[in-house]
Amino acid sequence: MTHPRIAHPGLATRRVDAAQAAEWIQPGMAVGMSGFTGAGYPKAVPQALAARMEAARERGEPFALRVLTGASTAPELDGALARAGGIDFRLPYQSDPELRARINRGEIEYMDIHLGHVAQYAWFGFLGPIDVAVIEVAGILPDGRLIPSTSVGNNKTWLDLADKVIVEVNHCQPLGLDGMHDIYYGTALPPARRPIPLLQPGDRIGEPYLRVDPDRIVAVVETNAPDRLGSFAPPDETSKAIAANLVEFFRHEIRAGRLSEQLLPLQSGVGNIANAVLAGLQDGGFSGLTAFTEVIQDGMLDLIESGVITMASATALSLSPPAVERFVANIGLFRERIVLRPQEMSNHAELVRRLGCIAMNGMVEADIYGNVNSTHVAGSTIINGIGGSGDFARNGFLSCFVTPSTAKGGAISTIVPMVSHVDHNEHDVDVIVTEQGLADLRGMSPKQRARAVIANCAHPDYRDALQDYFDRALAGSAGRHTPHLLGEALSWHQRYLDTGSMRG
Amino acid sequence: MTHPRIAHPGLATRRVDAAQAAEWIQPGMAVGMSGFTGAGYPKAVPQALAARMEAARERGEPFALRVLTGASTAPELDGALARAGGIDFRLPYQSDPELRARINRGEIEYMDIHLGHVAQYAWFGFLGPIDVAVIEVAGILPDGRLIPSTSVGNNKTWLDLADKVIVEVNHCQPLGLDGMHDIYYGTALPPARRPIPLLQPGDRIGEPYLRVDPDRIVAVVETNAPDRLGSFAPPDETSKAIAANLVEFFRHEIRAGRLSEQLLPLQSGVGNIANAVLAGLQDGGFSGLTAFTEVIQDGMLDLIESGVITMASATALSLSPPAVERFVANIGLFRERIVLRPQEMSNHAELVRRLGCIAMNGMVEADIYGNVNSTHVAGSTIINGIGGSGDFARNGFLSCFVTPSTAKGGAISTIVPMVSHVDHNEHDVDVIVTEQGLADLRGMSPKQRARAVIANCAHPDYRDALQDYFDRALAGSAGRHTPHLLGEALSWHQRYLDTGSMRG
């Protein structure tokens, strides 16, 4: 066989180059793309599309799309399309600097939506029709089914709903991925929905391949490029302190009988602090853990390899280049311990609630009353989006949010009188952790929470000012359930905008 | 039989008066009480307890409790205990004026928590031990099982967890309630949880009675008093206009193929506007509807009686005195069409998501970007609490929030630049309805939402000022994803506090 990755004879004849494939996409279309936290995004068609957009712009013809993905992609997709002025509307999570800058200049309409809601919103018809799907896969089976790539994301939904499908077959993705995925085809629209028969993180309830009618595949593009993921910094002292505080809390909960030694399925957000927390579990003597999460990053791969985590469910493998090497070298082990699912399942309210996930997510800031901002700087500038944090914080067993107590070299306190944007409200936040300490907010009123957050989480440089705000609010607020001085509640953010620092 | 409602011989001997029963409750205890939106709360023991508290106070001895309920109760419980200074800590939803006043004076710690989370938080051990349960029932079976009263609420959980149980047998509650309830005993702690086998709102998955070990029942108190529920005002023009806007939207969704003529299971919040919306469905020619909701109020009883709603699931029957008469007169019909469940089930994320509920909830205010405040006046004064609105708004098919566009005779705009407290964030709000119109926010970015909310929902008296804020924010905000002027965002609320009006 000349094309072992494209085993369907008819589809092998539909191989074209990326520029030809991109011709299927017309201005104004809605395009569902693969990609989740930098894994499994199409590598070639978006760039060819960006070139068409640039050419159209030079001719004075507008060429922009509605772009829907799994989550964040990479410069080759979000960056290239944004730079070409080719995105009118984008959802959900994103992290590309160029895309973000244009969103914050008001040039692109961005809808931030729970990652666990995207697929059902599309099926409900709330997001409009999907014209084209552009999906990276690891290979095509003789019957036309697709071997998923390093992320599943919303690929099932885009493949099912799109009028036309463009498949990118990436020769760089390990064929050992074959069999790791579990695509659940038991979903339905209400009122025909039934229980999802998943009881443990590792349960396989679907099939390993993505179904698609080969007749709807209009182009097959071959690529050979790795997911472009950076390496992680080794945990710094702040991250290690945050991790140590959280691990000590888990130990405390075990001693109190509220958690077993195996804890409960872990969900871990993305980034350096999340990796540090996972490293803390590695060092903390835990074993027999499981994960039911969105993304497997380097830190979780370490825990799986060492046996600390015996089974991990996710929707994406977002690994740095050295971790990819380890993954490929040891793929037999990882295939037994990792299941990759559609994000509709990895983040499903029913499953997160049933399994009782321990949610651990980063944040931008928390206020003294335990409201959390995961997305905005100073109330108006979006960073990446809420991701799946809400799916897990609302429905899990325990909702933990972690952050260093300051940012920008101390110019920003991440503990503030009132958050400038709320993504997780007081009802959804159990535990706040900084390098200073941990505030356990379970069973507390707002005022009790304020005292715990100020005492345990705030940086000493800001602690007195927070206490002063709380004391004056308690004395002067119209109501004393959640004492606030409205004229001052957001003044720390305004001061930061005005002076570059929250310091008084 | 002299005591047909207390058929267990041993328990019949434990009959005492309320004062004797109240002796089982000591200062500092945590007491789980029945009661949900004014239905099924204990009528006698809390008042006897309040008398003990008053007497203790006169002796200079502090006597206060942690009080946990299903939701709001009545003056005989929350009012009496609050007035006696007998509540240190209270959760969840409450609506008694005396209790609310003391919470807002800072005298009582109140924890506002999703109604669907209370039971599992108690089971997880997050709320501490439950010392005594005080539960109203309609009767006791020969084997000691309890016939639930007009609400189930958290009664199963309090009965299971409390060291000691006090039962109030209310002779005033209709014995026809026997068989209407469905108490699910299949819950477990993670990792042992399994799918909840409910596929339709009317499915019976449990048993009609509450189990309890008779040996833990330390006192049985007989009462004969109705739930004290007020009557509803007939819908006014504003409520009718809100209802008409929402009903027209449902018609639009049916025409678009996104809803069937039977819609999807309805969840309806409490109060006059909710009743008006239900009346609007009655007049709108709908039939074959179902409800999966928390509370059956008068409006829903009408729809069940007329056959518009063929099956309704809830956790409480909160009926006005005339509606109670109709309920009793027609109990054969209602027993076939109503199932009362624990609030853990009526508000369960898994079930709300599976069934695809249409959530319709009132609110205090919304901001132009679609964030909703359900609980606080001017950011600091709590009204009643979030109730179950978050359980349904987050997990349902469609999340609708309704309110008149103004309050306090026009002094307050319920559409504001920035809400002063967030209970439902931009990710959880699909539709905002006022008497002015309806904003369909699905698939929109923040700026698109702002234009829709200002144009469709704001009162004309405030529309220009909102548009002016948005325009200036768009020009002057640090970021233009969610444009805000932080120094001004909460100024409408401050102006209201300062002048009694939001008008400039």
**Could you read off the pLDDT of B36-73 as tens digits, one per residue?**
999 999 999 999 999 999 999 999 999 999 999 999 99
Structure confidence by residue, pLDDT tens digits, B390-425: 999 999 999 999 999 999 999 999 999 999 999 999
Alpha-carbon distance B115 to A353, whole Å? 15
A60 touches chain B (CB under 8 A): no
Mean pLDDT of chain A: 96
Min Cα–Cα distance to chain A from B408, Å: 17
CB contact under 8 A, B109 and A200: no
Mean pLDDT of chain B: 96
Q: How far apart are the CA of B7 and the nearest CA of chain A, in angstroms? A: 38
Residues 402-421 of A with CB under 8 A from B: 418, 420-421
Alpha carbon A155 to its chain centroid, in Å, reads 15
What's the pLDDT score for residue B272? 83
Average of per-residue pLDDT across B221-239: 90
Across A224-233, A364-373, B488-497, least confident range: A224-233
CB A37 within 8 A of CB A315: no
Q: Where does B98-201 show beta strands of DSSP type E? A: 109-110, 132-140, 146-148, 164-170
Stated pTM of the model: 0.98
For B375-394, the pLDDT digits (tens) are 999 999 999 999 999 999 99
Q: Which residues of B are catalytic?
A: 294
Tell me the per-residue pLDDT of B269-283, one tens digit each, with 9 for 90 and over. 888 888 888 989 888
Contacts of A448 in chain B (CB under 8 A): 109
One-letter identity of residue B154: N
Is A487 touching B (CB cutoff 8 A)?
A: yes
Q: How far is A262 from chain B (nearest CA, A)?
A: 10
Residue B97 bridge partners (DSSP): none
Is B388 annotated among the ligand-binding residues? yes
Q: Render pLDDT for A33-55 as a digit per residue (tens, 0 to 9).
A: 999 999 999 999 999 999 999 99
pLDDT for A259 beyond 90: yes
The sign of the dihedral angle between the CA atoms of A382, A392, A91, B360 is negative
Q: H helices within A2-96, ranges in order?
A: 9-12, 18-22, 45-58, 80-83
Residue B2 has pLDDT above 60, yes or no: no
Q: Which fold has domain B237-497?
A: Glutaconate Coenzyme A-transferase (3.40.1080)
Work out the average pLDDT over A228-254.
92
Closest CA of chain B from A352, distance in Å: 9
The residues facing A407 across adjacent strands are A412
Task: Determine the residue among A105, A445, A451 to mutate to test chain B binding: the one whose Cβ has the most chain B Cβ atoms within 10 Å.
Answer: A445
Residue B465 in this model has a pLDDT that exceeds 70: yes
Contact residues, chain A, for B497 at CB < 8 Å: 478, 486
- Total residues found in chain A within this entry: 504
Separation CA B52–CA B233 (nearest Å): 37
Q: Give yes or no for a contact between B267 and B396, defined as CB atoms under 8 angstroms apart.
A: yes
Cα A20-A26-A29 angle, rounded to 5 deg: 130
pLDDT at A378 over 90: yes
Segment B65-90, tens digit of pLDDT: 999 999 999 999 999 999 999 999 99
B residues 109-148 closer than 8 Å to A (CB): 109-114, 117, 121, 124-128
| Optimal mutation site among B427, B430, B440, B472, interface A, most CBs of chain A within 10 A | B427
Q: Tokens standing for B400? A: 């609708």
Kindly list the domain boundaries of chain B, sorted by start residue: 9-223, 237-497
Name residue, tokens 């097959």. Answer: A220
B384 known member of a binding site: yes
Taking alpha carbons only, the member of B32, B68, B113, B187 closest to residue B391 is B113
- pLDDT tops 90 at residue B4: no
Catalytic-role residue among A76, A136, A168, A294: A294
pLDDT over 80 at A25, yes or no: yes
Q: Which of A106, A349, A378 sits opposite B353 (nearest CB)?
A: A349
Residue of A nearest to B498 (CA): A478
**B110 contacts in chain A (CB < 8 Å):** 445, 481
Nearest to B397 among A124, A127, A487 (CB): A124
On the question of pLDDT at A270 being above 90, the answer is: no
CATH for A9-223, options being 3.40.1080.10, 3.30.200.20, 3.50.50.60, 3.40.50.150: 3.40.1080.10
**The pLDDT value given to residue B169:** 98
| Dihedral of the alpha carbons of B475, B415, B36, B134, in degrees to the nearest 10 | 60
Helices of type H across A169-236: none
Q: How many CB atoms within 10 Å of residue A241?
A: 20
From the list A113, A356, A447, the residue facing B109 with the nearest CB is: A447
Q: What is the pLDDT of residue B1?
A: 42
Whether B491 and B379 have beta carbons less than 8 Å apart is answered as no
- The amino acid at B129: P
| pLDDT tens digits, one per residue of A470-489 | 999 999 999 999 999 999 99
- Mean pLDDT in residue range A85-103: 97
* Residue of A469, A482, A496, A497 for testing the chain B interface, max B β-carbons within 10 Å: A482
Q: Above pLDDT 90, what percent of chain B?
A: 94
User: Could you tell me if B252 lies within 8 Å of chain A, comparing CB atoms?
Assistant: no
Question: Is the previous residue joined to A92 through a cis bond, with omega within 30 degrees of 0?
Answer: yes
Helix B321-329 and helix B298-306, axial crossing angle in degrees, nearest 10: 30
Residue type, B502: M
Three-class SS string for A458-499? CCHHHHHHHHHHHHHHHHHCCCCCCCCCCCCCCHHHHHHHHH
Mean pLDDT value across residues B155-182: 97
Would you say residue B293 has pLDDT above 70? Answer: yes
User: β-pairing, A358-362 with A398-402?
Assistant: parallel
Q: Do B106 and A493 touch (CB under 8 A)?
A: no
Q: Please say if the pLDDT value at position B210 is more than 60.
A: yes
Residue labelled with tokens 């299927």:
A24
pLDDT band of residue B3 (cuts 50, 70, 90) is low
- Per CB-CB distance under 8 Å, the chain A contacts of B377 are 478-479
Which chain B residues touch A186 with a CB distance below 8 Å? none
Q: Confirm whether A9-223 and A237-497 share one CATH topology.
A: yes
Give the closest-approach CA distance of A260 to chain B in angstroms.
10
Q: Is the Cβ of B248 closer than 8 Å to some Cβ of chain A?
A: no
> Annotation-wise, does B154 bind a ligand?
no
Residue A1 clears pLDDT 70, i.e. is over it: no
Q: Is B6 helix (H, G, I), strand (E, B) or coil?
A: strand
Reduce the DSSP state of residue B74 to 3 states and report it.
Answer: coil
Least confident of A280-284, A332-336, B340-344, B389-393: A280-284
CA distances from A111 to A66, A71, A389 (A): 11, 12, 16
Nearest CA in chain A to B389: A427
Contact B104 A479 (CB under 8 A): yes
- As a whole number, mean pLDDT of residues A170-192 equals 97
